[in-house]
Amino acid sequence: MSWFKRDRPDDKKPKAIDEVSKKVKTEGLWQKCDGCRQIVWKKDLAANWNICPKCGHHFRLDAVTRLRLLLDGDYEVFDAGLRSTNPLGFVDSKPYEKRLEAGYLETGLRDALIAVRGKLCGRHVEMCSMEARFIGGSMGAVVGEKITRAIERSLATRSPLVVVSASGGARMQEGAVSLMQMGKISAALMRLDQARVPFVSVLTDPTTGGVTASYAMLGDLNIAEPGALIGFAGPRVIEQTIRQKLPDGFQRSEFLLKHGMLDAVVPRLELKAYINQALDFFCAQ
């Protein structure tokens, strides 16, 4: 038996002093703003729909608050009890069932999307709102089925569809099953298009991967919140593939608008009025 042993590279190391103080700064009642680097009182932030009162930086908004922002009042929720069966029996660092359970405990939702019927400025709409805190807002069979059913309700009632995306893309734990949702949703959207029922896609921070590559970019109108990360692959993967340095602001809403990938960048507090005006225009056609 040895009397001593060497440090291994993977041993836990004590935290550096500045790391500790950084943690204290953002804990509790205060939040450091990524936009202006100032300290903001969390209550002020919540009262302002998670927009920094000092610089206008848009923090992420949860799915339920999003519905409260965009809809007039009460709404009817559909398919709240749908949940994944773990079709692949997937286990990574922990079983997929445990991740689903943790997502449920964190958000009170059984999957990463709420599908509702409500009124927007007095007009009936079908709305889907994604929850990024539920396994990164990833799209699996449940998200795919809920959106598809929302599209079918839109078709049946001819009320417009609004989908608010906040997603890391397809859900790894459901493999090919999650990729199939892209085709399934896109096919349903094509039928909605043929029936000439309007679909407005709202892209919020973050909208990436298979969600960007399918329904988030298939709206009659694709609009985004300021400063939202929108893309397919991450910047590091792209840089390694094309061996070029990417420009500043790459994959942010303003950059995508400038390059023709989006129709508009709309501040959060103007979103409802903007969507209403767009639907006025579509429905008059």
Where does this chain bind Zn ion (CB under 5 A)? Answer: 33, 35-36, 52, 54-55, 57
Q: 144 is written with which tokens? A: 């795919």
Q: Which is nearer to Zn ion, 23 or 37 (CB)?
A: 37
Least separation in angstroms between residue 147's CB and Zn ion is: 33
C-alpha pair distances (Å), 141 with each of 86, 119, 152, 229, 270: 10, 27, 16, 24, 32
Q: Which is nearer to Zn ion, 57 or 171 (CB)?
A: 57
Least separation in angstroms between residue 55's CB and Zn ion is: 3
Nearest CA to 167 out of 201, 116, 118, 125 is that of 201
Q: 283 is written with which tokens? A: 């429905």
Q: Which residues contact 49 (CB under 8 A, 6 or more apart)?
A: 61, 65, 69, 268, 269
Q: Which is nearer to Zn ion, 43 or 158 (CB)?
A: 43
Least separation in angstroms between residue 38's CB and Zn ion is: 6
Q: Which is nearer to Zn ion, 53 or 95 (CB)?
A: 53
d(CA 139, CA 154): 21
Least separation in angstroms between residue 272's CB and Zn ion is: 23
39-65 CB burial, b ≥16 within 10 A, e <16: ebeeeebeeebbbbeeebbbbbbbbee
Least separation in angstroms between residue 256's CB and Zn ion is: 22
Q: Which is nearer to Zn ion, 183 or 249 (CB)?
A: 249
